[in-house]
Structure 1
């Protein structure tokens, strides 16, 4: 029987237990306070005992390519070297740390954020292929703004080399593993998806891009443990070309055979929609006056912001919360690969974790619950099946991020319960190393 408290080997890295903080938006940027912000976001999970802490999506090439405001670029070796403070802080608590590498491609802010487009009129989106018909229609209707730069074969190799260089900088700064953002409509997902990828060269097979990324990372970062998300586009509308569950399992098998050390299978859509953050409509976030002007700037006017809110509400009806919604695809992948399979998405209780481990996956991650409980592992490790995260899956944490706001819980009832647990000492670990000054602040 596999237990959450058991160690796990990932590509030669011993992770002390099987609970990880999944990649989230830290919104730290690259300014003077970026390193402190990353420490304050990531160290609490290590303090509380998470076996692996994943720094959220960081961009391998600038300018542009950010899927959300204030994402961090890791294309400057001098800046990345300063992130050794982050890795040291996590290692001091006995945890391990991964960095997730990404480029937004057609999902970048230069596509959807009106204010950002007006400030950077020369930015174009990297594209795997010419726009699919549905996106051309969205562009003509003014719903989105596309000016795609379709990559040549040589430019694809250059982008893969950027992933490799960023991985090398990260390993030099002390990161234990590299996590490729292979889902959520970023550039890697776009290579894999038949909706986006209609190339006629070797990269018509989207897995080939991940193989070249693997080789570049090995050249620049050696045998660092290498993970990637793999998407199944199970929520695609009828008639739209998409990655089926069967095809996603096949992709995972190929990547494991090629040398990837762990896989994170997930489900979603070909579009950037609520299928990746299933749960309730975030009414509190949409009504919060602090973000109203930010929504207007992001979406290009009050009417457009209101229409986005309506669309968000409709999506919440379709993509209601489902416990452990990626368990099925994880289980199917685990049957055909001999590397660890990591599960995330809708996992909220210790009982769910115990049912998943050893059957559907080898390690379990949580994302949004850490916004409400940065020290959540302290409650889940060595706990009973009834122990549950306080996260209500209401998504009030996610929508304000389009304005550049921090990723934190803003739901009063949830915050009250987290506060009560904190006062009761639920997050205290007697054997924990002292917290850093950044975390105390």
Structure 2
């Protein structure tokens, strides 16, 4: 059996293989059709053989905290109970499902989305500390709008309790694991980062380990309220921070944080290199020209950014970022490898993984040092919802060689063009919109690449 097809233990639960769907924005919201939308998004990957599916960032509170339109909330027990229909469908295919819990803190719609801010004038952002000077300068320029409420110590405990309550509801609904959104500039990264965290209470400090206290508290709340559910988190290294940001997490800091969390009781870590602000360091790849120039989304961009002029300015900044964040295959590889040497829990690698041969190398199939114990993809699932069927499919004779050949047919159709992501600022769903990719998927469908044998 090839290593990708081998099971992996996640906090005492067996995951059938080491390919997982990394967290994505499903944009399902909380409406009457939300569960059906989530099933439509997630079930194809389970049916196609993915071992683990990570449902994208869901907000632990009923107001505020959303980083983008359409994020679901899990504060309502009645809604979470209905999610049991989703977890049942995933389990019917022998897969596991994790729920990613999130609060955006300073990176929320009330900071950047003009129409949302106007409709919710009383909403404040939750802040770990006073916003850094660089962000206050952006506020003065009118690029963002901060009205922060700095959490006092008691409020930090209350926020951690909300994570625990959400986790308990999720376990009742059948989720197999809890995934904390520890990067992408949400509230957890803001606690970890010296750029944001200048607190002088028990949740601050000069060492990276000192600033993990919030994650430790969330861990304790989840263990108390939800039991021994497998608990994993992203761990950031802010290596993409610009030179004007001197206080940030370097790779050594990220390794120290991951090691500390593994010792504290987290069951898996996903190390990711990112920035201190939300930008293309998260996704990388091409400037999404088709998405920005589409008349279909022009009004939505204007609503989000305040005017068509501002939307064009954001697009121009996006084009500049493309030059800085060129696509790099498996860009978190070295960070993950360093973490894996220091921890005794599974290391989950995602970011820029695009073909089966690359996955095998990252897992140590060729005899070199593994960088990870499981490998995930995100945007490629927008392009191919049933992607695992052709990455995991084995030759009937050898039981190991991919049926379609490593060099050609087991490369994902996704071109990392980002036309799927930019329209999400308007509330549009995350789907592939690139004709060449859709044609490729059609060709693969006709060739039977997404079909699975009954025994698989």
For Structure 1 versus Structure 2, the TM-score category normalised by the shorter chain is over 0.9
Q: Which of 352, 365, 374 lines up with 2:385 in the alignment?
A: 374
Secondary structure at the aligned position of 1:274 is classed as coil
- C-alpha distance in 1, partners of 2:87/2:217? 27
Q: 1:239 to 1:215 in 2, by over 3 A?
A: same
Q: Which of 323, 330, 337 lines up with 1:331 in the alignment?
A: 337
- C-alpha distance in 2, partners of 1:376/1:324? 18
Contact 1:93-1:432 within 8 A present in 2 as well? no
Moved over 4 A (4+): none
Tell me whether 1:256 sits opposite 2:267 in the alignment: no
Task: Report the alpha carbon displacement of residue 2 of structure 1 after superposing the two structures with TM.
Answer: 6.3
Q: 1:81 to 1:239 in 2, by over 3 A?
A: same
- C-alpha distance in 2, partners of 1:145/1:379? 46
Count of residue correspondences: 433
- C-alpha distance in 1, partners of 2:89/2:211? 37
Secondary structure at the aligned position of 1:431 is classed as coil
Deviations 1:158-198 (A, max 9, x none): 00000000000000000000000000000001000111100
Gaps of 5+ in 2: 205-209, 365-369, 395-401
Task: Report the alpha carbon displacement of residue 432 of structure 1 after superposing the two structures with TM.
Answer: 7.3
Deviations 1:95-122 (A, max 9, x none): 0000000000100000000000011011
Task: Report the alpha carbon displacement of residue 423 of structure 1 after superposing the two structures with TM.
Answer: 1.7
Tell me whether 1:235 sits opposite 2:240 in the alignment: yes
Tell me whether 1:278 sits opposite 2:289 in the alignment: no
Q: Which of 414, 424, 427 lines up with 2:447 in the alignment?
A: 424
- C-alpha distance in 2, partners of 1:73/1:424? 39
**1:22-61 alignment to 2 at 5 Å?**
22-61=22-61
Gaps of 5+ in 1: 434-441
Per mean C-alpha deviation after superposition, the further-off stretch among 381-390 and 417-426 is 381-390
Q: 1:282 to 1:159 in 2, by over 3 A?
A: same
Aligned to 2:397: none
Aligned to 2:144: 144
- C-alpha distance in 2, partners of 1:367/1:220? 30
Q: Which of 401, 406, 413 lines up with 1:390 in the alignment?
A: 413
- Give the aligned CA root-mean-square deviation in angstroms: 1.0
Q: Which TM-score applies when normalising by structure 1? A: 0.97
Contact 1:29-1:73 within 8 A present in 2 as well? yes
Task: Report the alpha carbon displacement of residue 425 of structure 1 after superposing the two structures with TM.
Answer: 1.1
Q: Which of 305, 318, 327 lines up with 1:312 in the alignment?
A: 318
Q: Which TM-score applies when normalising by structure 2? A: 0.94
Task: Report the alpha carbon displacement of residue 233 of structure 1 after superposing the two structures with TM.
Answer: 0.3
Secondary structure at the aligned position of 2:203 is classed as helix
Tell me whether 1:350 sits opposite 2:373 in the alignment: no
Tell me whether 1:411 sits opposite 2:434 in the alignment: yes
Contact 1:161-1:216 within 8 A present in 2 as well? yes
Contact 1:47-1:432 within 8 A present in 2 as well? no
Task: Report the alpha carbon displacement of residue 385 of structure 1 after superposing the two structures with TM.
Answer: 2.5
Tell me whether 1:244 sits opposite 2:250 in the alignment: yes
- C-alpha distance in 2, partners of 1:237/1:28? 34
Deviations 1:221-271 (A, max 9, x none): 100000000000001111411100000000000000000000000001111
